[in-house]
Amino acid sequence: MSLATLAPPQVPSAQMPPEILTGVMQAATKIGELLDSFSQVAPDLAMDFAAVKDQLAMILAKLVQGGAGPTSPTASGPAFPGGGMDRGISGPGTV
Confidence at residue 12, expressed as pLDDT on a 0 to 100 scale: 74
> Residues with Cβ < 8 Å from 55, sequence gap 6 or more?
none
What is the rounded average pLDDT for all residues in the chain? Answer: 77
Which class for 7: exposed (0-12), middle (13-18), buried (19 or more C-beta within 10 A)? middle
The pLDDT of residue 17 is 78
pLDDT at position 30 is 95
Helix (H, G, I), strand (E, B) or coil at 5: helix
d(CA 62, CA 57): 9
26-67 residue pLDDT tens: 999 999 999 999 999 999 999 999 999 999 999 998 888 876
Q: What is the pLDDT of residue 11?
A: 67
pTM, rounded to two decimals: 0.58
